[in-house]
């Protein structure tokens, strides 16, 4: 097994390590996110747009002047495939570990710069071609916006625009709309 | 601060790990699949008439065809193709499928790839030398006067050992051929047709009907001299049954007519000549034959005529107001004398053209153009419920319904109501007024109702490039 294929396993381990390092009750605010994401799998010759669910768990640090920093684990299972002529593509699962830095802490709409690592599986089938699945993993980055509801401050509406994967000939981008709930 | 140090250490280690770990190993499969799927293909192949025997030191443009997922075959493919030749070959191929052969004979394999689909073709590069053209075209040539047809001349090539190859004339030789055209009945030089060669494509253009003889004259490396081919007989058919003038902008070739149009001074009108041809089954169709028509104008000081760059239409520029020049067009043998260079460049005469008397292979049409004074739009005026508005100046309107009237004023002093003209565009810049509609829900041009939001309504009105901004204070 190559070093590259080992790496996705390390992601949840690192998250676990982080969780152990920072007792959630005292140092961090845990939150969950639920939303929908439209993915864009794009090459030089065409693109498809499968639909995904977007589920996340995260920590926002609230001590040591780190309250603008968040870490989250995202799981995006596929909801609907998409076609390009007879080509059917689907993303059965995308997993990511994101670090988010809030650059507008004093505004009601928070803007996060996002950096992380993602692994995205893409399943494809075409005429005379057996269905196969490829995994794409690498650095992800993007920007997120969120605003808390005035009546329920723990609940925030959020939008994330991400590039999950950027290869030499392939891009996988997502646009996520969802809600974040802080525990 | 202990925790912060741990956190920072962890973060930088994580970034270090991530930076080296973008994978590209699986990209190729998916990218190839997208390339094929975007064209909806399931197979690709070279067309059956692809050249497999080509000369040295020339080039050949190869094409690719495909089969679609619905089974439709022989569909031309023009993109997402990656071309290659066998390694070590002296010949090369570019991204457009142009094979440039080397100076030595060789057998190469051409490979075309679209995504994961590939097609191959074995090509022999022959060092046989060109002798002469032996056939006018590898495919039958049928055309009528004022039509053109592509020629695929066939040549004789001779190898060093004296054996010969009969094959398509290569793209280097074809550009060097001088084509001679004679009337079949008396072998006199003919103006019935020309062969035009451009970008290695030879096209036979017929200007009249009748029987002609063509000869191809070219330098022969085999003989080391200019060699003239034998005679190639060709008939130019006479199945043209109608000819007419239309505007270049007309979309229906069957029903269009030009009539006697009016033009302002210095205005330009683009016209085409259209011919109706009848085939052997009796069916007819109209074609634009502007390029091979003969054009003329009776008085060039009244209007100027010239062919467009691609000769697909004629531009008529009005020069002198108060005159009525006549533009004429003919296809076939005309009364007027024309030179060979005029045939090459496109026949546009500074005199009227007419069919030669007694000619059975000529049709003509003409149109008289009336040139008036140049009239241009000078301003717009607008009234709101009968009150005159000034451009960009607010005026109070005390009605819940506002009816605008837009008038266009011209340089010759005339004016007309353009309120409902389709070229009049209304752009409501705010929500103080909203568009009024009729009973069927259609918006009534220029009619608005107050939308219970008092303020200054702003509506921008544009007609033929002139803009008027109507500002109305609405109290409701």
Contact: A84, B14; criterion CB under 8 Å = no
**Confidence check: pLDDT of A4 > 50:** no
B403 beta partners: B447
- pLDDT tens for each residue of B305-319: 999 999 999 999 999
**B441-448: average pLDDT:** 91
Arithmetic mean of pLDDT over chain B: 90
- pLDDT tens for each residue of A79-108: 999 999 999 999 999 999 999 998 988 888
Q: Tell me, yes or no, whether B357 and B277 share the same domain.
A: yes
Q: What's the pLDDT band for A173 if we cut at 50, 70, 90?
A: very high
Contact: A139, B18; criterion CB under 8 Å = yes
The C-alpha of B66 sits at a distance from chain A's nearest C-alpha, in angstroms, of 14
Report residue B108 as tokens.
Answer: 């190469």
pLDDT on residue A5: 42
**Confidence check: pLDDT of B187 > 70:** yes
Please give the angle made by the CA atoms of B12, B14 and B17, to the nearest 5 degrees.
110
Q: Which residues contact A78 (CB under 8 A, 6 or more apart)?
A: A50, A51, A52, A53, A90, A91, A92, A93
Task: Please check whether residue B77 is in contact with residue B62, taking contact to mean a CB–CB distance below 8 angstroms.
Answer: no
Q: Tell me, yes or no, whether B245 and B194 share the same domain.
A: no
Q: What is the 3-state secondary structure (H, E, C) of B331-368?
A: EECECCCCCHHHHHHCEEECCCCCECCCCCCEEEEEEE
Residue bearing the bigger pLDDT, B174 or A68: B174
**B435-449: average pLDDT:** 90
Domain-located, residue B74: yes
Contact: B31, A138; criterion CB under 8 Å = no
Mutate: best of A167, A168, A171, partner B, most B CBs <10 A: A167
CATH code at position B340: 2.60.40.1080
Contact: A21, B7; criterion CB under 8 Å = yes
Task: Please check whether residue B367 is in contact with residue B334, taking contact to mean a CB–CB distance below 8 angstroms.
Answer: no
Mutate: best of A11, A41, A86, partner B, most B CBs <10 A: A86
Of B76, B103, B125, the residue at which a domain comes to its end is: B125
Domain-located, residue B81: yes
ipTM above 0.85, yes or no: no
Report residue A165 as tokens.
Answer: 């994967």
Of B79, B100, B125, the residue at which a domain comes to its end is: B125
Q: Tell me, yes or no, whether B269 and B360 share the same domain.
A: yes
**A123-130: average pLDDT:** 92
Please give the angle made by the CA atoms of A134, A17 and B14, to the nearest 5 degrees.
55
Largest Cα–Cα separation, chain B? 110
Domain-located, residue B112: yes
B437 beta partners: B443
A96 beta partners: A74, A118
**Confidence check: pLDDT of B110 > 70:** yes
pLDDT on residue B73: 86
B384 beta partners: B387, B404
**Confidence check: pLDDT of B20 > 70:** no
Question: What is the total count of domains within chain B?
Answer: 4
Q: What's the pLDDT band for B266 if we cut at 50, 70, 90?
A: confident
Domain-located, residue B17: no
Task: Please check whether residue A162 is in contact with residue A142, taking contact to mean a CB–CB distance below 8 angstroms.
Answer: yes
Give CA separation, B106 vs B86, B125, B444, in Å: 11, 5, 75
Domain-located, residue B244: yes
Q: Which residues contact B468 (CB under 8 A, 6 or more apart)?
A: B380, B381, B382, B389, B391, B406, B460, B461, B462
Query: Is residue B145 within a helix (H) or strand (E), and if so which, with residue range?
Result: none
Q: Tell me, yes or no, whether B93 and B178 share the same domain.
A: no
CATH code at position B71: 2.60.40.10
Contact: A22, B34; criterion CB under 8 Å = no
Task: Please check whether residue B416 is in contact with residue B407, taking contact to mean a CB–CB distance below 8 angstroms.
Answer: yes
Range of the domain at A165: 3-182
Residue bearing the bigger pLDDT, B458 or B15: B458
Residue bearing the bigger pLDDT, A8 or A143: A143
A19 interface with B at CB cutoff 8 Å: no
**Binding-site residues on chain B for chain A (CB distance < 8 A):** 1, 3-4, 6-7, 10-11, 14-15, 17-19, 21-24, 26-31, 33-38, 40, 42, 69, 80, 115-116
Q: What's the pLDDT band for A63 if we cut at 50, 70, 90?
A: low
What residues in B contact A66, CB-CB < 8 Å? 4, 7
pLDDT on residue B45: 96
**Confidence check: pLDDT of A180 > 70:** yes
CATH code at position B416: 2.60.40
Query: Could you tell me which of B416, B423, B393, B419 has the C-alpha nearest to residue B406?
Result: B419
Q: What's the pLDDT band for B24 if we cut at 50, 70, 90?
A: low
Q: Tell me, yes or no, whether B350 and B252 share the same domain.
A: yes
- pLDDT tens for each residue of B225-265: 999 999 999 999 999 999 999 999 888 899 999 988 888 88
Measured N-to-C along each axis, helices B2-19 and A3-21 cross at an angle, to the nearest 10 degrees, of 170
* N- to C-terminal Cα separation, chain B: 66
**Confidence check: pLDDT of B202 > 70:** yes
Query: Could you tell me which of B286, B393, B369, B255 has the C-alpha nearest to residue B321?
Result: B369
pLDDT on residue B410: 82
Mutate: best of B5, B20, B32, B34, partner A, most A CBs <10 A: B34
pLDDT on residue B3: 53
**Confidence check: pLDDT of A13 > 80:** no
Contact: B1, A64; criterion CB under 8 Å = yes
Range of the domain at B320: 240-372
Report residue B119 as tokens.
Answer: 């097609």
The region of weakest confidence among A17-31, B190-204, B390-404 is: A17-31
CATH code at position A166: 2.40.160.20
Measured on CA atoms in the order A68, A72, A78, A79, is the torsion positive or negative? negative
Beta strand A129-148 with A109-126 is antiparallel
pLDDT on residue B15: 57
- pLDDT tens for each residue of B133-152: 999 998 889 999 999 999 99
A113 interface with B at CB cutoff 8 Å: no
* B410: alpha, beta or left? (left if phi > 0; alpha if psi -120 to 50): beta
The region of weakest confidence among A4-13, A130-139, B92-101, B282-291 is: A4-13
Task: Please check whether residue B69 is in contact with residue B114, taking contact to mean a CB–CB distance below 8 angstroms.
Answer: no
Question: What is the total count of domains within chain A?
Answer: 1
Q: What's the pLDDT band for B129 if we cut at 50, 70, 90?
A: very high
Of B100, B125, B150, the residue at which a domain comes to its end is: B125
Domain-located, residue B19: no
Q: Tell me, yes or no, whether B317 and B389 share the same domain.
A: no
3 state DSSP class of A19: helix
- Number of neighbouring beta carbons within 10 Å of residue B204: 23
Q: Tell me, yes or no, whether B246 and B310 share the same domain.
A: yes
Query: Could you tell me which of B326, B320, B328, B350 has the C-alpha nearest to residue B337?
Result: B350
pLDDT on residue B23: 57
**Confidence check: pLDDT of B212 > 70:** yes
Rounded to whole angstroms, the Cα distance separating B391 from B382 reads 8
**Confidence check: pLDDT of B304 > 60:** yes
Rounded to whole angstroms, the Cα distance separating B219 from B36 reads 45
Rounded to whole angstroms, the Cα distance separating B422 from B442 reads 14
Burial (CB count <10 Å: 0-12, 13-18, 19+), residue B472? buried
Rounded to whole angstroms, the Cα distance separating A18 from A14 reads 6
The C-alpha of B73 sits at a distance from chain A's nearest C-alpha, in angstroms, of 15
Q: Which residues contact A122 (CB under 8 A, 6 or more apart)?
A: A41, A89, A90, A91, A133, A134, A135, A136, A172, B30
Radius of gyration of chain A (CA): 17
Domain-located, residue B468: yes
**Confidence check: pLDDT of B10 > 70:** no
Task: Please check whether residue A53 is in contact with residue A33, taking contact to mean a CB–CB distance below 8 angstroms.
Answer: no
């Amino acid at each position: 097994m190559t070093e590259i294929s080992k790496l996705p396993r390390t992601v949840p381990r690192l998250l676990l390590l982080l969780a152990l390092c920072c007792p959630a009750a005292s140092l961090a605010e845990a939150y969950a996110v639920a939303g929908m994401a439209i993915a864009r799998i794009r090459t030089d010759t065409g693109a498809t747009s499968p639909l995904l669910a977007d589920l996340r768990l995260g920590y926002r640090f609230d001590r040591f002047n780190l309250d603008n920093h968040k870490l989250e684990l995202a799981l995006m299972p596929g909801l609907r495939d998409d076609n390009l002529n007879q080509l059917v593509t689907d993303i059965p699962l995308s997993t990511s570990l994101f670090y988010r830095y809030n650059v507008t802490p004093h505004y009601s709409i928070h803007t996060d710069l996002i950096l992380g690592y993602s692994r995205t599986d893409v399943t494809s089938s075409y005429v005379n071609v057996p269905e196969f699945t490829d995994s794409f993993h690498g650095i992800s980055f993007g920007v997120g916006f969120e605003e808390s509801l005035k009546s329920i401050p723990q609940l925030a509406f959020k939008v994330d625009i991400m590039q999950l994967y950027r290869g030499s000939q392939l891009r996988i981008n997502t646009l996520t709309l969802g809600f974040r709930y802080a525990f | 601060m202990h925790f912060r140090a741990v956190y920072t250490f962890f973060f930088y280690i994580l970034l270090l790990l991530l930076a080296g770990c973008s994978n590209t190993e699986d990209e190729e499969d998916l990218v190839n699949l997208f390339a094929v799927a975007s064209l909806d293909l399931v197979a690709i192949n070279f067309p059956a008439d692809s050249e497999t025997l080509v000369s040295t030191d020339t080039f050949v443009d190869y094409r690719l065809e495909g089969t679609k997922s619905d089974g439709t075959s022989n569909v031309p493919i023009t993109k997402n193709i990656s071309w290659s030749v066998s390694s070590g070959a002296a010949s090369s191929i570019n991204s457009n499928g142009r094979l440039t052969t080397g100076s030595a004979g060789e057998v190469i394999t051409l490979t075309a790839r679209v995504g994961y689909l590939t097609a191959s073709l074995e090509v022999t590069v022959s060092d046989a030398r060109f002798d002469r053209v032996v056939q006018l075209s590898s495919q039958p040539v049928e055309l009528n006067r004022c039509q053109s047809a592509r020629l695929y001349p066939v040549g004789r090539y001779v190898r060093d050992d004296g054996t010969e190859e009969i094959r398509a004339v290569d793209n280097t030789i074809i550009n060097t051929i001088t084509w001679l055209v004679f009337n079949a009945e008396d072998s006199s030089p003919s103006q019935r047709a020309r062969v035009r060669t451009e970008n290695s494509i030879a096209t036979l253009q017929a200007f009249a009907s009748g029987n002609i003889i063509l000869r191809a004259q070219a330098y022969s490396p085999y003989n080391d001299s200019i060699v003239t081919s034998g005679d190639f007989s060709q008939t130019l058919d006479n199945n043209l049954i109608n000819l007419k003038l239309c505007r270049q902008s007309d979309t229906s070739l069957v029903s269009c007519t030009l009539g006697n149009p009016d033009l302002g001074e210095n205005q330009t009108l683009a016209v085409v000549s259209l011919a109706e041809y009848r085939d052997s089954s009796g069916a007819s169709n109209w074609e634009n034959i502007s390029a091979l028509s003969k054009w003329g104008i009776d008085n060039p000081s009244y209007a100027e005529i010239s062919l467009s760059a691609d000769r697909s239409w004629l531009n008529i520029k009005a020069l002198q107001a108060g005159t009525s020049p006549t533009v004429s067009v003919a296809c076939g043998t005309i009364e007027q004398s024309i030179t060979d260079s005029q045939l090459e460049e496109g026949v546009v005469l500074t005199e009227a053209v007419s069919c030669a008397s007694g000619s059975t292979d000529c049709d003509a049409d003409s149109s008289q153009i009336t040139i008036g004074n140049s009239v241009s739009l000078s301003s717009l005026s607008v009234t709101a419920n009968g009150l005159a508005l000034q451009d960009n100046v607010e005026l109070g309107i005390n009605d819940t319904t506002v009816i605008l009237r837009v008038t266009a004023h011209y340089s010759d002093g005339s004016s007309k109501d353009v309120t409902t003209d389709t070229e009049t565009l209304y752009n409501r810049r705010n929500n103080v007024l909203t568009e009024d509609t009729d009973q069927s829900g259609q918006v009534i041009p220029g009619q608005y109702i107050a939308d219970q939001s008092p303020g200054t309504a702003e509506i921008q009105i544009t007609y033929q490039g002139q803009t008027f901004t109507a500002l109305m204070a609405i109290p409701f």
